[in-house]
Structure 1
Amino acid sequence: MAGDEQRFKSAFDSLHAFVYFAPEVDAAFAGVGLRPGRMPYFAGRAAPMGAVGADVVAATFYNFNPEVVARTIPRAWTLATPEQVLDARLEGTDRALTRLLGEHVKSDEVAEAAELAREATAGCRPEGRPLYAGHAGLPWPGEPHLVLWHAVTLLREHRGDGHIAALVLEGIDGLEALVTHSATGRGFFTPAAKLTRGWSDEQWTAAENRLKDRGVLDAEGALTDAGVALRDRLEAATETAARGPWDHLGAERTARLEELCRGLSRRVVDAGAFPEGVFALGRP
């Protein structure tokens, strides 16, 4: 896709990320025994890989404090099997998306977007992409609105796995990824990054100091020229690694899918999919 991270977020990301805020999804997870808090998030995204341990979840999610992951994984699998978690996630997603789209859930636009998005995923490759590969192994839902959600989820995880590969190549660990992304001014505010990803002030400061020693941050914690160049390389590598689906779909159909999904994303956001002040952020 000719574009950047911001374009992906504005056109597609909300059509996946609403599940992390939808009461219908929370209720479905609670119904199979998952505890409220971070457990549904970790278990919900990790379940396509099976009952994996905390180390695998921390490695594939990348920017969460592994200590935080270990508080809920593998305990989640003693409360619900991965299959139960996946069924609950799809059930909750169905109810949430039906509410958010209203009568439009049965529209021609949703059906067309679902068909195009599913076709785009045929251009994704699983090698070196564990979260994508796990999700790609799941059966496709039957209803168009769920096909669309699943396809966008595949595109999102495919893109995210590629971004992690770029971070690894640059020698940037999960916390350093958060710190540098926050320093761009286009990511989380620092307090939100610490809170949502579970890092302490001391851990954050230690990461800043490592980055200062490497010339990525200046004395005030802002990106140096080298830091800006690093982030530019990361974004360029992410875009290159994410091109497969869009090259497969072609420019004309990609533009049409982006147009459709941008309109549907506006509907989801306008219907209250996200709490006030919260929006779907890209990966750091």
Structure 2
Amino acid sequence: MAGDEKRFKRAFDSLHALAYFAPEVDAALVGAGLRPGRMPYFAGRSAAMGAVGAEVVAATFYNFNPEVVARTIPRAWTLATPAQVLDARVDGVDKALTRLLGDHVKGDDVAEAGELAREAADGCHGEGRPLYAAHAGLGWPGEPHLVLWHAITLLREHRGDGHIAALVLNGLSGIEAVLTHVATGVGFTADAAKLTRGWSDEQWAAAEAGLRDRGILDADGALTEEGVAVRDRVEAATEAAARGPWEHLGPEKTARLEELCRGLSKRVVEAGAFPAGVFAKGRP
């Protein structure tokens, strides 16, 4: 089932990740009082946990530079309450999906996908998964397209919390996680990773040196045999920890949900959900 889960993750990722790129979501969060820039992302994704400090956000987001997080959190909560941020986020997602899907937003496939994704989310559990548990404590929206988005949010945060546990278990810090992910060659470039996650050239170089000393990277910055083994262990543990929703849903319904989400993802991508050259990447 692990391979099926990883393949399905690729099918539904864009349906959630569009919230981080859609101008409607950013406008709604700024309209609620947040400052433009990184604040809408950090506050929007963490608001389900309440008015937490920068340390909690950095811990649960993991691969972002804590110094960058601290520039916007907890200041965000002096500008808008978590409840206001959550309402604005859903309002923005509603507008974004309505634009991207057009009349199709009311389609039977959206409703069916929402029902199946919600059923899959019933197979998640909150033990040791703080970001998932926070979102699981929120009420379900009423509109089918928002049910689908919320369910996928739960599935992604459930997987993400398990992924962080796998990284900790395998001794990779936040910057080491994103750096070794870059070294696999299947995700971010180093420049993109430093820019989006907020790491300086000096911090990046120091982390590279530490990974070379541990035998995880070679002199050219590529993964060594041990480095490949570490990343393989991380991926295997992540997949194992993420099986619950799909075992709960069962293979036939999982296949149907994958089919539906692939079609819907294609629609939103073709409608311009992401800037040119940007697509949802795997988690470091």
TM-score, normalised via structure 2 length: 0.98
Q: Which residue does the alignment assign to 2:134?
A: 134
Cα deviation 1:165-197 (Å, max 9, x = unaligned): 000001100000011000000111000000000
Q: Which residue does the alignment assign to 1:23?
A: 23
Q: Which residue does the alignment assign to 2:212?
A: 212
Runs of 4+ in 1 over 4 A off after TM superposition: none
Is 1:234 paired with 2:234? yes
Change in CA separation of 1:228 and 1:5 when aligned onto 2, cut-off 3 Å: farther
Cα deviation 1:55-109 (Å, max 9, x = unaligned): 0000000000000000000000000000000000000000000000011101110
Q: Which residue does the alignment assign to 2:56?
A: 56
Q: Which residue does the alignment assign to 2:119?
A: 119
Letter in 2 for 1:45: R
Q: What are the residue-to-residue correspondences of 1:168-207 with 2, within 5 Å? A: 168-207=168-207
Letter in 2 for 1:264: L
Is 1:84 paired with 2:84? yes
Letter in 1 for 2:138: L
Query: C-alpha displacement at 1:31, in angstroms?
Result: 1.1
- Match of 1:171, SS? coil
- Match of 1:3, SS? helix
In the aligned structure 2, how far is the partner of 1:95 from the partner of 1:151? 18
Q: Give the fraction of aligned pairs with identical amino acids, expressed as a percent.
A: 81
Cα deviation 1:237-276 (Å, max 9, x = unaligned): 0000000000000001001001100110000100000000
Q: What are the residue-to-residue correspondences of 1:227-266 with 2, within 5 Å? A: 227-266=227-266
Letter in 1 for 2:221: G
Whether the 8 Å CA contact 1:18–1:274 is kept in 2: the answer is yes
Change in CA separation of 1:139 and 1:45 when aligned onto 2, cut-off 3 Å: same
Is 1:158 paired with 2:158? yes
Query: C-alpha displacement at 1:10, in angstroms?
Result: 2.7
Whether the 8 Å CA contact 1:162–1:241 is kept in 2: the answer is yes
In angstroms, what is the RMSD of aligned CA positions?
A: 1.0
Change in CA separation of 1:158 and 1:256 when aligned onto 2, cut-off 3 Å: same
Q: Which residue does the alignment assign to 2:33?
A: 33
- Match of 2:33, SS? coil
In the aligned structure 1, how far is the partner of 2:24 from the partner of 2:3? 33
Runs of at least 5 residues in structure 2 that lack an aligned partner in the other structure: none
How many aligned positions are there? 284
Query: C-alpha displacement at 1:7, in angstroms?
Result: 2.2
Letter in 2 for 1:168: V
Letter in 2 for 1:98: T
In the aligned structure 2, how far is the partner of 1:66 from the partner of 1:2? 32
In the aligned structure 2, how far is the partner of 1:6 from the partner of 1:275? 24
